[in-house]
A = this chain, B = another copy of it.
Amino acid sequence: MPQKEAKHPLIGGVVEGNRRALARAITLIESQNADHRIEAQHLLAGLPSNHQALRIGLSGTPGVGKSTFIESFGMHLVEQGLRVAVLAVDPSSARTGGSILGDKTRMDQLSRHANAFIRPSPSQSHLGGVGRRTREATQLCEAAGFDVVLIETVGVGQSETMVADMTDLFVLLMAPAGGDELQGVKRGIMEMADIILINKADGDLKPAATRTCADYAGALRMMRKRKKDADGFPKAMMVSALSEIGLSDAWQEMQTLVRWRQETGIWGDQRQQQALRWLSEEIEIGLQKALRENQQAAAALARVTQRVKDGETSPTVAAQTVIDSFLNGQDDS
């Protein structure tokens, strides 16, 4: 067993729920610098794991009112004394350089509330990096004692799959549809949802929201039941983030589903499966990194890559050459 190291200095502040310490810890785990990465591992290794938040994934295309919803729903929770962290996942930020949730003015009340913590999406280079960062940030928020971690993502297939694989509940936020047809929502995304919320169910849009909600309810009933669905789930409901309608009901339904999953053991199983998938992803990333950093293997890879490109060797044979160089290179080091 490795000897006990001193805990990372940020841990004390994080565990006390100090938002500045939490923010600095997240900045550390977001860093791509190799030394920072080692420090981040040290930090994570020292975190207590006795507190679990409810992790909620929230997805919706631009324009459905996600920011307004997070503001209203988040305020609804903090006013009950719950502590709420909001993390954003935006793989597109790598392309655009921007980040969602950067505009905290749209969550004015929530961002100033003592029981809330809002963290914009960083500019990361790839989805894998965003995934690790968000999972680690979630662990930090849990160690900091937050009760709910809301992970927001935009409507891109891959990022939604990723968020669904790191949360306990997946909520899809939709706008009322113009016609009576289902909006261009991908079936794959609907299949991930535990709860579909039709937002803007107020004023002129109320009738459209009612219709849309019925359409989604119908579509959900047609879908194959998953083991993790309690009776009546997945379900479609109407809310108005702006008029603060239906937020309490939505929260009740989430809690009902969570309680059922906890009682049946599904909740714990899902967390285990998610953690094991994450472990296996991290091992894969670590092995690839070790290979790239091994001089012999990296040289062999460069050599066979050219031969494979030129069609001179079979990829199976070429791969074995690289693996052999890697294992021999380790022996010699």
Contacts and interface: CB of A to CB of B under 8 A. Distances in A.
Contacts of A284: 284, 287-288
A283 B330 contact: no
A315 interface: yes
A290 interface: yes
A85 B133 CA distance: 48
Given A279-B305, A330-B330, A319 B44 contact: no
B49 A315 contact: no
A282 B136 contact: no
A208 to B, nearest CB: 27
Given A308-B275, A314-B44, A314-B47, A283 B331 contact: no
Interface in A116-137: 132, 135-136
A23 interface: no
Interface stretch (A76-84, A225-233, A320-328): A320-328
A282 B45 CA distance: 32
A49 B323 contact: no
Interface residues of A, number: 48
A303 to B, nearest CB: 10
A309 B44 contact: no
A263 interface: no
A323 B285 CA distance: 10
Nearest to A277: B315
A143 B139 CA distance: 53
B286 A41 contact: no
Contacts of A301: 283
Contact of A44 (B52, B311, B316, B326): B316
B319 A275 contact: no
A206 to B, nearest CB: 33
A333 interface: yes
A58 B52 CA distance: 49
Interface string A253-277: 0000000000000000001100110
Given A320-B286, A330-B331, A311 B41 contact: no
Nearest to A294: B327
Nearest to A309: B272
A35 B180 CA distance: 62
A47 B290 CA distance: 31
A204 interface: no
B313 A45 contact: yes
A136 to B, nearest CB: 6
Contact of A333 (B44, B290, B331): B331
- The 9 lowest CB-CB distance pairs between A and B, nearest first, are A330-B330, A282-B319, A286-B323, A279-B315, A278-B315, A287-B287, A44-B314, A45-B317, A283-B319
18 contacts: A41-B320, A44-B317, A49-B311, A136-B316, A139-B314, A272-B308, A276-B308, A276-B309, A276-B315, A279-B305, A279-B318, A281-B315, A282-B318, A282-B320, A283-B319, A286-B320, A286-B322, A287-B323
Interface of A: 41, 44-45, 47, 49, 52, 132, 135-136, 139, 271-272, 275-276, 278-279, 281-288, 290-291, 301, 304-305, 308-309, 311-320, 322-323, 326-327, 330-331, 333
